[in-house]
Amino acid sequence: QVQLVESGGGLVQAGGSLRLSCTASGRTFSTYAMGWFRQAPGKEREFVAAIGRITTNKYYTDSVKGRFTISRDNAKNTVYLQMTSLEPDDTAVYYCASTTSPYSQLPYRSAYEYWGRGTQVTVSS
């Protein structure tokens, strides 16, 4: 089993920056990809970004391209989401997730086996 814990959320003004972290523990040796999703009140959980074990394999949803950067430190079993130029529409609970499959369809929720409990990001105007 793998446990994921997010941190780094908070309240920030529009245009500001935050860096989210997610650290995995447990049987992390088989982790292939890690990703970030977010869910705003009344909306479905949506894909934000993902990164493979080979860290050149990165994916972003269109709305965050150029503003968010995903990275990972495999030795620390940690994935990061650097968020800049934050907008009120970025307000959501952000969840990290991981999968052991190298052939997962990473933008889809069904690809991921393990989920953190989330961290709140609030962007005010």
| pLDDT per residue as tens, the chain (125 positions) | 899 999 999 999 999 999 999 999 998 888 899 999 999 999 999 999 999 988 888 999 999 999 999 999 988 999 999 999 999 999 999 999 999 988 889 999 999 999 999 999 999 99
Q: What is the DSSP letter of 38?
A: E
Of 119, 41, 124, 122, nearest in space to 79 by CA: 119
**Residue in the structure block whose two tokens are 């959980």:** 45
* pLDDT, position 30: 87
One-letter amino acid for residue 10 of the chain: G
Asked whether the beta carbons of 123 and 13 are under 8 A apart, the reply is: yes
* pLDDT, position 103: 82
* pLDDT, position 70: 97
